[in-house]
């Protein structure tokens, strides 16, 4: 899904540092500066800065394109995050251990507690 970001656009983002899995935010500025790509205004004052004056005090946060959730609404975003979490769990590497069986070492899956 290609999306053109402009000031005053409303988007869904994920901000792990603020413990926000899904947040509906307003784009205030898009800059070419690495690390300060998109200035967004949060719905409530939970951050510590204002994105170099682009946002209201304590409501600003810099996000990158990787933080944008390409969903139409919050229900779809929750579904997408749940699917991603299930996929990550399925692809999680197995814990293995070496065991001696019949005088030779063999690789076996680690027993769960």
pLDDT, tens only, 54-110: 998 999 999 998 899 888 888 898 898 889 888 888 888 878 888 888 888 888 888
Query: Is the pLDDT at 3 greater than 70, yes or no?
Result: no
* 6/28: higher pLDDT: 28
pTM: 0.67
User: At a CB cut-off of 8 Å and minimum separation 6, what does 28 contact?
Assistant: 7, 39, 40, 41, 51, 54, 55, 60
Q: Please give the helix or strand (H or E) that residue 25 lies within, else none.
A: strand 20-30
Domain map (residue ranges) of the chain: 10-72
Strand partners, 96: 109
* 12/94: higher pLDDT: 12
Q: Cα(66)–Cα(68) distance, rounded to whole angstroms? A: 6
């Amino acid at each position: 899904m290609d999306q053109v970001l402009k000031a005053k656009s409303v988007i869904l983002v994920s901000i792990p540092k603020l413990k926000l899995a899904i947040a509906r935010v307003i784009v205030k500025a898009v800059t070419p500066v690495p690390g300060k790509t998109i200035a967004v205004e949060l719905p409530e004052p939970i951050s510590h800065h204002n994105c170099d004056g682009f946002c209201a005090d304590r409501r600003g946060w810099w996000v990158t394109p990787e933080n944008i959730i390409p969903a139409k609404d919050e229900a779809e975003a929750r579904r997408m995050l749940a699917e991603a979490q299930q996929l990550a769990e399925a692809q999680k590497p197995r814990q293995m251990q070496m065991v001696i069986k019949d005088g030779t070492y063999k690789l076996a899956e680690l027993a769960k507690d």
